Amino acid sequence: MIHDLWDLCVRYWPDLVLALLFAAIAETLRVGSRIREGWRWFKDKTAESSIANINVRVTQQEAFRNLLQSYLASDKLLYLAVLRNMTLILIFMSLAGLVLIVGTLFRAIEFPGAEFVALFALISAIGGGVYTMQLGSYDTSKISKLIEKIDTEIAALKEARLKLERRRRGTNS
C-alpha cells in the first residue's frame, strides 16, 4: 500500500506541488491565516530556547508592530506599501517574459533552465500579488486587532524571557 502511494506521488508530483501551492495561496488570502499564525507560533516557540533568541524575536515583533502602527496613523503609508508591492509584481512578470523571450529568440545562445527561472519569477509575482491583496484588505479595525495580537505575543515572549532569566539565576546561585 505504501509502495502504491509512493508510486502515485512520484507519478503526479507536479500536480501535488501545484495543489499545495494553490492551497497555501488560498489560505494566505485570509487575513487571519492559520499558516501565518502557525508560523509565528513556531518562531516564538523556537525563540524561547535562549534569552538572545527571545530578544531577537521581540525586536522583530516590535518592528512589525511599529510598521502596522504607522499604517494605522497614515493611509498614505499603506497605499505606498501596496504600490511598492504592485511595482515588484510587475517587475517579476516582466522578468519572466524577458527570460522566456530571450530563451526562444536566441536558441544559438543556450540558456538552460530559462523556463524554471521564468516559473520562479511568476510564482514570486503570484506570491507578491497574494501578499498585496492581503495588505490592501487592511482597515483600521483589522490593523488594531493585529497590533493587539502582536502585543500579546510580545508580552508572552517577555514573560518567557523572565522565566529563563530566573531559571538561569536559580542554577547559577
DSSP string of 33-59? -HHHHHHHHHHHHHHTT-HHHHHHHHH
Instruction: Give the rounded percent of residues in the chain with a pLDDT score beyond 70.
Output: 84
Q: How many helices (H) and strands (E) does the chain have?
A: 7, 0
> In the chain, what are the domain boundaries?
50-161
pLDDT value for 7? 77
The three-class DSSP label of residue 108 is coil
Q: Which three cell numbers stand for residue 111?
A: 540558456
Quote the pLDDT of residue 95: 86
State phi, psi for 100 to the nearest 5 degrees: -65, -40
Q: What pLDDT, on a 0 to 100 scale, did the predictor assign at position 151?
A: 93
3-state SS, one letter per residue, for 62-90: HHHHHHHHHHHHCHHHHHHHHHHHHHHHH
122-173 tens-digit pLDDT:
888 888 888 888 777 777 778 888 889 999 999 988 998 888 888 878 766 5
Q: How confident is the model at residue 28 (pLDDT cuts 50, 70, 90)?
A: low
